[in-house]
Structure 1
Amino acid sequence: MATTEVKNRPLSRRVITAFLSGQAVSLLGSSLVQFAIIWYVTLQTNSATSMTIITVTSLIPQLIVAPFAGVWADRYDRRWLIMLSDFGIALATAWLMVMSLLNGLQTWMIYLVSAIRSLGGGIQSPANQALIPQITPEDKLVRINGIYSTISNMLMLLSPIFGGVLISLTPIWSVFLVDVVTAIIGISIMFFIPIPHQVTGKIVNALGKTPRLKEGDYWGFPEHRHDTVSQEGTPLQEDVITGRKALESGLSKFREGFSYVNKITPLRNLMLTYAGFMLMLSPVITLIPLFIRRHFGTEVWYITATETALFAGMAIGGLLVSFKGYFNSCLRTVRTSGLLVASVMLTVSVLALLDSILFSVFAVLALLLGMIVPFYSTAVTTLFQKEVESEYHGRVFALLYMIGSAAIPLGSILLGPLADFISIEYIFLAAATIQIVLMLTSLRTVPSTFEDETTPTHTRGSHINDRLTTEESIEHDPKEGDEATEYDPRNSSDVLTEPSYQDSENSC
């Protein structure tokens, strides 16, 4: 009688779940502290200048460090970059906690820690984005990016509520303590989970030890890619990551990543489209409070309700993306969601120009806008994760991070002052029109064949070779058994359920 071999689910699911859980816990603490810092400076100084300083210290350091962070994410172990940056942020926050307990907390300390936190975030973000495709099978990227987006959006929605409760009921040092504790939890999870090394593909924990597999278990991580780049003069992965050219500056390495993007015309055009789109989105973010005041009134609840609707929509949209689990085409999703965002802005501007906009309608449009944004951001992220060679992930995502971080303040500088001379609805109308033009122009500048042509053929629609990964992990010298660590991930919850999607080579 024939017997059927029963296979367990891939352990990569548990690793990804642990990674997302650790990031969620760490982000919760960071969000609470960010809210507490802004609130503390507001109460202590009641000064617009102080708010400007806190904004600058929260933004500029991450823009300065981002080019180097991208190089580091390609050269060094991404796990350790995430852990060390988290540790540095927690250490600075612990200093604030101690100073608060000693009644010695001063505003300049807040500015300093805000800058340190910005540096840590600038290092951590490219490493995070580059690590996700390192541990996630290609057909699960949309789902995982959607879950990651949902976590971030939910925390943006909930952190002011939790932070307000903590600050109201407890001293501010307790908020700092929460951040330290959540950072320790996040670092601990990252330390123990097994991750395939970005150079060798060997699955190890933070100490470099390979966990043993139990009978029937297999990893299910993406097939290790040792990419090479055909352009002459561009270094191989070994050169980029192991630091063979150690004397070369970080900026020079970052320029190599910039040159890589520039040489692939559709990739360059996609990034330029993304930059222009984000720049035109900045008026919505920066001018909404002023728009509400001019059209609806000065009551605070208008702004609160609008932000709640926007962030709730983003959380719902992120959940929809993660439940769907795939896009038939990431590029088409980028265009469609971009046009929908522009349509919402266009609707708001037209209704305002006709002086017939009701706040209830405005709030619903804010909710819709929030629901659309995760589709756009997830599709963009997944598209770059799949189409960019893995040895350039860190630098390309650092470039994306810089664009996303700089677009809002730059757009505010360029378009914000216009609101004192012309109606905000005209600014919204112009921005939405430019966004529509950008999306339609991308039909020509970023052809639909881009998704198929740039991805290496050995990764497009590839399946994990379970037997190979199992043998790779089990083939371990018994004499080295004392260096192997037991890892039984069955105790952790599995949030990665099987998606119901069509197995198509063109799906994203």
Structure 2
Amino acid sequence: MHRQWKKTFVLIFSGQIFSILTSAMVQFSIIWHLTETTGSAAVLMVAGFAGFLPQALLGPFIGVWLDRWNRKLTMMVADSVIAFSSLVLGAWFLWADPSLWIVYAILFIRSAATSFHAPSFQAAIPLIAPEEQYTKVAGWHQLVFSASNVLGPALGIAVYSATSLGMVLLLDVAGALLANLMLLLVKIHQPKPEAVQAPSFRKEFTLGWKAFLSVKPVVTITVAMAVFSVFFMPLAMLFPLITLSHFNRGGYSASLIEAVFGMGMILGGALLSVLASKWRDSTYMSLSLGAIGFACVLSGVVGSEAFLAFAVLSFIMGAAAPLFNGPYMAMIQKSYEPGKLGRVLSFVTSIGLLASPIGLALAGPVVERFGVQMWFFWSGIVVAVIGIYLFLKFHSTGKEQRLGQ
């Protein structure tokens, strides 16, 4: 049994690493293309809206369908839609220069497909791995994701510079197809559906929402995560801009920052895999937010000549990220029945993603008026305060004991 679930994850991750790698190449290449050709924070924020808003709006409803549908098939269909959208935009870039609105539309479609893929993968984990291995598997997932994000920006800028953005997008098609091939080789058992009188979207939606609210520690951390997302998520769009506008560096320097951030995530994911269950999940999350906040504050005050210092701070941010994401996801997976997990995950994802457009709407005008470093500095202050709050709350009340920590 235990050997079998490990073999299953090896097959899944061997395909997903290529899909995530090519997606990272596409994500960085598109952001850099928009940064280089427009130099506008407003354009980057609109691109961010296109990338986040579909997942935020669809998420709460997707969970109901996800708990009805075959999760393996859902992942495969979502990857196929992402591949097709990359094929269309890639072909467009090879033959012409599409308008910004075409790029936004494709980002919107890719985001909508991702809103099905990400929670279906996370909801499938309890159907494969033993409960005591959830945090370890989360560490593996962070490791795969991080490794792809180290190589993705560097490979993306290399292919982009040598050929075109269109070629980068076509490579993403190949990555998605390989991920689907690996999924064909594994078997994922579906959870038994709840006994209801007749299929009712409203009833299933309500049951999922009530299930989410029933675990107060998860609700508390989800609210904290939403505030964190308002201030931190815009930075994903602003890393290339600060490299270009503040440090006066080009595409390869921007890809270097993405790479060192990814290297930090590899280290953080590896540490999480090794140290899993040594501490409470909330302890890892508090440390993560404290480290990210500290690094953001310093990034907001370094001089334009201190590019190397900014690279080190980016590494720290990357290393801290898995220490929040992995334990948070493991906490959720431990707390809810598999038959309701898809809905809970979609609620959680949507709450974070609904917060992200708020951050993007705030960040655009602030960056345009006061500069990109201002956002780094104050986001760091807020994130650090959230980390301190979580630490004091869970270590003073012991509420996390409800989750078996």
TM-score > 0.5, shorter chain as reference: yes
* Correspondence 1:319 to 2:273: no
- The residue that corresponds to 2:230 in the other structure is 279
Which of the residues 378, 391, 394 maps onto 2:339?
Answer: 391
Secondary structure in structure 1 of the residue aligned to 2:201: coil
Give distance in 1, aligned partners of 2:249 and 2:158: 22
Structure 1 residues 445 and 418, CA gap change in structure 2 (3 angstroms): farther
Secondary structure in structure 1 of the residue aligned to 2:400: coil
Alignment gaps of 5+ in structure 2: none
State which structure, 1 or 2, has the greater radius of gyration over its C-alpha atoms: 1
Measure how far apart 1:321 and its partner are.
Answer: 2.0
Measure how far apart 1:169 and its partner are.
Answer: 3.1
Structure 1 residues 33 and 426, CA gap change in structure 2 (3 angstroms): closer
Tell me which moved more, 171-180 or 390-399.
171-180
Structure 1 residues 297 and 28, CA gap change in structure 2 (3 angstroms): closer
Give distance in 2, aligned partners of 1:140 and 1:52: 38
Measure how far apart 1:285 and its partner are.
Answer: 5.2
Give distance in 2, aligned partners of 1:95 and 1:433: 42
Q: Render the CA deviation track for 1:95-119: whole Å, top value 9, x for unaligned.
A: 3445556x35633543332221111
Which of the residues 386, 398, 401 maps onto 2:349?
Answer: 401
- The residue that corresponds to 1:371 in the other structure is 319
Give distance in 2, aligned partners of 1:276 and 1:76: 31
- Code of the residue aligned with 1:366 in structure 2: it is S
- Code of the residue aligned with 1:70 in structure 2: it is G
Q: What is the RMSD of the two structures over their aligned residues, measured on CA atoms?
A: 3.6
Q: Render the CA deviation track for 1:133-155: whole Å, top value 9, x for unaligned.
A: 22112222222211211222222
Give distance in 2, aligned partners of 1:293 and 1:46: 8
- Code of the residue aligned with 1:106 in structure 2: it is P
Check the 8 A contact 1:280/1:431 in 2, yes or no: yes
Q: Render the CA deviation track for 1:263-321: whole Å, top value 9, x for unaligned.
A: 33333223223223333435765666777789x74344775554443232112211222
Structure 1 residues 140 and 436, CA gap change in structure 2 (3 angstroms): closer
TM-score by length of 2: 0.83
Structure 1 residues 335 and 259, CA gap change in structure 2 (3 angstroms): same
Give distance in 1, aligned partners of 2:157 and 2:297: 34
Give distance in 1, aligned partners of 2:67 and 2:240: 40
Q: Render the CA deviation track for 1:464-486: whole Å, top value 9, x for unaligned.
A: xxxxxxxxxxxxxxxxxxxxxxx
Measure how far apart 1:345 and its partner are.
Answer: 4.6
- The residue that corresponds to 2:389 in the other structure is 438
Give distance in 2, aligned partners of 1:310 and 1:44: 24
Measure how far apart 1:254 and its partner are.
Answer: 3.3
Give distance in 2, aligned partners of 1:118 and 1:448: 33
Measure how far apart 1:374 and its partner are.
Answer: 0.9
Check the 8 A contact 2:51/2:107 in 1, yes or no: yes
- The residue that corresponds to 1:298 in the other structure is 248
Which of the residues 105, 116, 119 maps onto 1:126?
Answer: 119
- The residue that corresponds to 2:179 in the other structure is 186
- Code of the residue aligned with 1:314 in structure 2: it is M
* Correspondence 1:341 to 2:292: yes
Check the 8 A contact 1:270/1:446 in 2, yes or no: no
Structure 1 residues 281 and 439, CA gap change in structure 2 (3 angstroms): farther
Which of the residues 449, 455, 479 maps onto 2:401?
Answer: 449
TM-score by length of 1: 0.68
Structure 1 residues 288 and 34, CA gap change in structure 2 (3 angstroms): closer
Give distance in 1, aligned partners of 2:39 and 2:333: 43
Which of the residues 112, 136, 144 maps onto 2:137?
Answer: 144
Give distance in 1, aligned partners of 2:238 and 2:57: 26
Give distance in 2, aligned partners of 1:136 and 1:9: 8
Check the 8 A contact 2:34/2:44 in 1, yes or no: yes
Q: How many residues align?
A: 399
- The residue that corresponds to 1:238 in the other structure is 194
The 5-angstrom pairing of residues 355-504 of structure 1 reads 360-414=308-362, 417=365, 420=369, 424=374, 427-428=378-379, 430-432=381-383, 434-443=385-394, 444=396, 447-452=399-404
Alignment gaps of 5+ in structure 1: 1-7, 200-236, 453-505
Tell me which moved more, 395-404 or 321-330.
321-330
Give distance in 2, aligned partners of 1:427 and 1:17: 41
